[in-house]
Structure 1
Amino acid sequence: MRTIRPATLARLTAVLALGATALGATALAPGAEANPAPTAHRHSGVKPLKRTADRRARATSANTLSVQSSGSQGVVSPNPQVYLVFWGSQWSNDPAGVAPDMQSMFSGLYGSQDTWGTILDQYCEGVPTGTTDCAGGGTPVSHPTSSPLAGVWFDNSAAAPDSAAASDLAAEASNAAAHFGNTTQAPNLNAQYVILSPTGTHPDGFPDSGFCAWHDQTSSSYGTLAYTNMPYIPDSGAGACTTFTDGRLLSGIESTETHEYAETVTDFWPSTGWNGGGGEIGDECQNMDAYVTLSTGTFDLQGLWSNSADNCVTQG
């Protein structure tokens, strides 16, 4: 989950109260994982790093990510598939152009031009708890050779709630699984449902709950689902939820969604996947953004933690 520092939160709240559409430059700082709602993305604490005889030994830092569960499913998403759900009839009004932007970004997030996504393929599932280096073991994340965007749904059957609860967002994820025909657990072992709320709404209390977005899991008739709560971040103005201060309105939602995408891929059903001293792969690097040019345009992609580099990086 991406958090907002208190000073920024106060400014965003003031902006919304005044009905403004612009905000001065702000920056996010790394921080402890927050729990925005009883069912929202959460950590009960990071398990200690453990050495195992069949893993390559190497020095690790406090931020090194390690596997929290030895399960063979739900730890990572080996073949990422993204389903964008534009929730509510209010999407007929999209002043910042979020819908085309999100589709363009994921349409280009693959192949040799996407050097950012290659950071993820060092992480895997089906290895012992505490593993910090897959070293050829387990099932790794595969870098997509074609767009990971598996489906787009404008759910305009009704208006999205003004202030959706976490349970409402989880229910919409279940609706999306049904809509896309993912009605058994098997396809939902790689599917992530990004629930994008329309302008003027406040899903799970955004922005007053102190987050830019979060991801979680929910039980459904179709198995366990991975989903993201993605608010309409441009409502908070340029500079919100990104480190860039150039006034580009879409940078914040691009940075935040790539943060949540990478965390979902590497901690598919929180928190069975990869976590470290500073949280998940995106939490550890909230002060790093880079403009990356894909085949579909240039986008603000947030830096990610790389165990192999022992640092935050923006390309693998």
Structure 2
Amino acid sequence: MPFPTLVSSRRALAVLGAAALATAGFAGAGAAPASATTTHFGMKPLHGGVHGAQSQSASARSTSTLSVGSSASQGVVSPTPKVYLVFWGSQWSSDPAGVAPDLQNMFKGLYGTQDTWGTILSQYCEGVAKGTVTCGSNGTHVQHPTSSPLAGTWFDNTAAAPGSATAAQLAAEAAKAASHFGNTTQAPNLNAQYVIVSATGTHPDGFPNSGFCAWHDKTSSSYGTLAYTNLPYVPDTGVDGCTTLTDGRALSGIESTETHEYAETVTDFWPSIGWNGGNGEIGDACENMDAFVPLSTGSFDLQGLWSNSANKCVTKG
């Protein structure tokens, strides 16, 4: 499988310091990341203790405006999003924070009238002129799901995942997942996103020393171009890591991180021909905004997203 082109969003960790990382179970804090040569944009710093809506000047808002990078009618957005959660490796016999059930419950609630966060995405589309900032009724829009976007869950636990998986190994796992779920042509993979969730104590692409909370990308495969996410075990960074909330919940950071990556995959499906602005993708300009949002399956930490129609970061459409 070709090495993926890592040009898409990465949520960046703040410098936690050697003591904090050691407490979280990571040795060698500050060491060079395992895959330091990849290109990325959309860093997501950790700013613990920042609450409420993000304040932006008029010039900052203008810079954040998203425009579409291609007039293509495929791969720009995911019109009918479908999420496949892949819990990679036999190491998932241990899940101290309860990540696996939490992520499933979150996606089971991201649909319908109670989900006003997901409606932010519906203003973005594909099949319009490059440079478009307002779709109006033109193009093919992202559809707000009327049922759960969680299309499948797989515990790929017949063998241990690599302790420090490379980007190429993560991409290969996405292709393996496409085969497992029967998505073996390009057609179903125009909406499928494969979230490769690594177990506690593992270091996918150098996490956490490589400075990100997660990233998403595309890769070529025999099943077409695939969209996938590298989602590390964020609770290993400690309580309140990768979120601006200070609620003491071990799961807030991974919820915030995955909603950031989910929304960016939906609106910039094959990066970076989708929706981008001067501050990056839909989640990048809004990294300082998290909100604890009730869904039908519970309440979750959802990160704010950039809305062109509102001309600001919002947590509901």
Q: Does 1:83 align with 2:84?
A: yes
8 Å CA contact 1:64, 1:307 repeated in 2: yes
- In 2, Cα distance between equivalents of 1:242 and 1:78: 28
Deviations 1:266-305 (Å, cap 9, x if unpaired)? Answer: 0000000000010000001000000110000000000000
8 Å CA contact 1:105, 1:296 repeated in 2: yes
Which of 20, 29, 36 is residue 15 of structure 1 equivalent to? 20
Pairs within 5 Å for 1:1-316: 1-4=9-12, 8-11=14-17, 13-20=18-25, 38=37, 41-42=40-41, 61-316=62-317
Deviations 1:213-246 (Å, cap 9, x if unpaired)? Answer: 0000000000000000000000111110000112
**Amino acid paired to 1:154:** F
- In 2, Cα distance between equivalents of 1:115 and 1:255: 16
Deviations 1:132-160 (Å, cap 9, x if unpaired)? Answer: 00011000000000000000000002101
CA apart distance, 1:3: 3.2
Q: For this pair of structures, how many residues does the alignment match?
A: 283
Q: Which secondary structure state, in structure 1, belongs to the residue aligned with residue 153 of structure 2?
A: strand
Q: Which secondary structure state, in structure 2, belongs to the residue aligned with residue 99 of structure 1?
A: helix
- In 1, Cα distance between equivalents of 2:177 and 2:131: 34
**Amino acid paired to 2:16:** A
8 Å CA contact 1:78, 1:190 repeated in 2: yes
8 Å CA contact 1:216, 1:228 repeated in 2: yes
**Amino acid paired to 2:176:** N
The percent identity for this pair of structures is: 75
- In 2, Cα distance between equivalents of 1:137 and 1:14: 53
- In 2, Cα distance between equivalents of 1:118 and 1:161: 37
- In 2, Cα distance between equivalents of 1:250 and 1:17: 19
- In 2, Cα distance between equivalents of 1:215 and 1:278: 17
- TM-score, normalised to structure 1's length? 0.87
Q: Which secondary structure state, in structure 2, belongs to the residue aligned with residue 61 of structure 1?
A: helix
- In 2, Cα distance between equivalents of 1:61 and 1:234: 35
8 Å CA contact 2:203, 2:232 repeated in 1: yes
- TM-score, normalised to structure 2's length? 0.86
- In 1, Cα distance between equivalents of 2:100 and 2:175: 21
Q: Which secondary structure state, in structure 2, belongs to the residue aligned with residue 105 of structure 1?
A: helix
Deviations 1:32-80 (Å, cap 9, x if unpaired)? Answer: xxxx65556558xxxxxxxxxxxxxxxx711100001111000000000
**Amino acid paired to 1:17:** A
8 Å CA contact 1:40, 1:166 repeated in 2: no
The verdict on how the C-alpha distance between 1:201 and 1:79 changes in structure 2, with shifts beyond 3 A counting, is same
Aligned Cα RMSD in Å?
1.5
CA apart distance, 1:18: 4.3
CA apart distance, 1:19: 4.8
The verdict on how the C-alpha distance between 1:280 and 1:311 changes in structure 2, with shifts beyond 3 A counting, is same
Q: Which secondary structure state, in structure 2, belongs to the residue aligned with residue 185 of structure 1?
A: coil
Q: Which secondary structure state, in structure 2, belongs to the residue aligned with residue 315 of structure 1?
A: coil
**Amino acid paired to 1:14:** A
**Amino acid paired to 2:125:** C
8 Å CA contact 2:111, 2:145 repeated in 1: yes
**Amino acid paired to 1:123:** Y
**Amino acid paired to 2:281:** E
Gaps of 5+ in 2: 1-8, 27-34, 43-60
**Amino acid paired to 1:10:** L
Instruction: State the 4+ residue runs in structure 1 displaced beyond 2 angstroms.
Output: 1-5, 8-11, 13-21, 36-43
